[in-house]
Amino acid sequence: MINYSDEKYITDAVNKFSDTVFRVAYQYTGNRADAEDILQDVFLKLLVAFQTGDDNRLKAWLIRVTINRSKDFLRAKKRRRETLLNDYAQPEPHGEHSEVFEALGKLSERDRNALYLHYYEGYTAKEIAEITGDKERAVTKRIARARIKLKDFLEE
């Protein structure tokens, strides 16, 4: 049973990092309902695997668990070969950013993740390497190559 101090830690983690976890899950699934399910799964896992620590390590752990859970979800969805109606109901990005979203969609999953974690979440290459299990140099190269690919897609 979780005591009061543990409950406060979990509550603080949910309040502080739920937006990040949701955004990472949504980036993978492209579906709000699925991303919300993954968000719940991730924080349930935190509840079960409760560990105190500094916020940077906790955030990195939550992102890693979210990525893993999202991949598991997508594999299961592919195996079931189901087509969810919500997948088609997602609004298309409009305006000045629609081209960027379309270009990002053309990048590989690893390139998209590296750019997302670097530019949107503000992680350094070293921190991304720790989260993804890659080497720092590989992450640095991945970000550089992904920027070039993104630029090429936008110029087409």
**Structural domains counted in the chain:** 2
Domain of 36, CATH number, reads 1.10.1740.10
Domain of 155, CATH number, reads 1.10.10.10
Residue 65 sits in the same domain as residue 97: no
Question: Mean pLDDT across the stretch 116-145?
Answer: 88
The answer to whether 132 and 139 have CB atoms below 8 angstroms apart is yes
CA torsion 71→83→107→67, rounded to 10°? -20
The answer to whether 139 and 125 have CB atoms below 8 angstroms apart is yes
What is the C-alpha to C-alpha distance for residues 70 and 139, in angstroms, rounded to an integer?
21
Residue 102: give the domain boundaries: 93-156
Question: Mean pLDDT across the stretch 125-154?
Answer: 89
Q: Is the pLDDT of residue 96 over 90?
A: no
Name which of 22-31, 76-85, 135-144 the model is least confident about.
Answer: 76-85
Q: pTM of the entire structure?
A: 0.54
